[in-house]
Amino acid sequence: MRLRILGTAAGGGLPQWNCACPGCARARAAGPRAWRTQECLAVSVSPDAWYLVNASPDDRAQILAAPGLAPPDGTRHTPLRGVLLTDGELDHTAGLLALREGAALDLYAPPAVLDALDGPFPLRTLLAPYGSARWHAVGSGPGEDALLLDGGRLRVTPVPVSDKRPRYASGTVAPGPWVVAYRFDDTATGGAAVYAPSLARWPDTLDAALAGADCLILDGTFWSEDEMGGARAMGHLPVDGPGGTLVRLRDHQDVRCLYTHLNNTNPLADPASPERTALVGTPVEVPSDGMEIEL
């Protein structure tokens, strides 16, 4: 199994176009090598089939930067087979508009998200005339069956994690879950990874999904609770502090852990910060855009 971490920033990227906070100013001064695009992952267990997890507004540039996602010479054929949405947030769905020119894709999302993309954010209606989407509901309950993709070699298990709704869907009545994580299993090699870029809480279902996993890529939006008026109020567990994800990771010390979805306020985005230095020697990492992991 190959994992390519296409983007690692929270909404707006790093630096954000309209911000000169210390994190954005530092990234601007360091130049493009320090910049981060909005969070997105690509997963593959065979060379000619890749699946995106979330569709970042930056996905065109992210795909162009990934050699494995390029069409073969002289063709308009793409190895991109589908997109799995963890939720309905704009920075996870708007990139689907940029994928409309390709062949038909299989798109997977929780039922509540599908309803929202038919209603307050009518993305499904916008894409329908292009004939480029086949929609599938996932993650309606803890015991839901896994998806078998790429001829059955890639098993994808949705893991409901919260009912955090996008702002545009605050008035909708569709029941959750609104947010899922995904566990990926390579049925040929036994490699397993969990992707959980949005965690409003840490449910028991996530602990169960991590059993036997090699790698966890998880929500690193905020370092501390006091960022942006309250990490938990914005639907994200902080990394540090009581109940933070670093504490929860002590129960999974055999799993390689990487933080993604870094906000511009998070000092982990700065390689020279004390917070980043504190992770040295631990099984926890902060990847850069484009990092590849093979399991």
pLDDT tens digits, 250-289: 999 999 999 999 999 999 999 999 999 989 888 899 999 9
Looking at residue 210, what is its pLDDT?
97
On the question of pLDDT at 141 being above 90, the answer is no
Portion of the chain with pLDDT greater than 70, in percent: 98
On the question of pLDDT at 169 being above 90, the answer is yes
* Average pLDDT rounded to a whole number, residues 62-83: 87
Looking at residue 174, what is its pLDDT?
87
| Alpha-carbon span 108 to 158, nearest angstrom | 10
On the question of pLDDT at 74 being above 70, the answer is no
The closest of 133, 156, 154, 16 to 86, measured between CA atoms, is: 156
* Average pLDDT rounded to a whole number, residues 203-207: 95
Phi, psi of 113, rounded to the nearest 5 degrees: -70, -40
When the pLDDT of each residue in the chain is averaged and rounded to a whole number, the result is 94
Phi, psi of 136, rounded to the nearest 5 degrees: -140, 135
Looking at residue 281, what is its pLDDT?
85
| Alpha-carbon span 26 to 124, nearest angstrom | 38
Residue scoring higher pLDDT (44 or 142): 44
Instruction: Please report which confidence band the pLDDT of residue 176 belongs to, taking 50, 70 and 90 as the band edges.
Output: confident
Least confident of 4-18, 85-99, 135-149: 135-149
Looking at residue 142, what is its pLDDT?
58
Task: Give the length of the chain.
Answer: 295
Residue 59, CB half-sphere, CA atoms under 13 Å: how many?
A: 24
Portion of the chain with pLDDT greater than 90, in percent: 86
Domain spans of the chain, in order of start:
2-294
- pTM of the predicted structure, to 2 decimals: 0.96
On the question of pLDDT at 98 being above 60, the answer is yes
Tokens of 116: 């929202």
Looking at residue 282, what is its pLDDT?
87
Residue scoring higher pLDDT (47 or 91): 91
pLDDT tens digits, 231-248: 999 999 999 999 999 999
pLDDT tens digits, 5-57: 999 999 999 999 999 999 999 999 999 999 999 999 999 999 889 999 999 99
Looking at residue 66, what is its pLDDT?
95
Pick the CATH number of 2-294 from 3.60.15.10, 3.20.20.70, 3.30.300.20, 3.40.50.20: 3.60.15.10
Looking at residue 62, what is its pLDDT?
97
Instruction: Please report which confidence band the pLDDT of residue 131 belongs to, taking 50, 70 and 90 as the band edges.
Output: confident
Residue type, 53: V
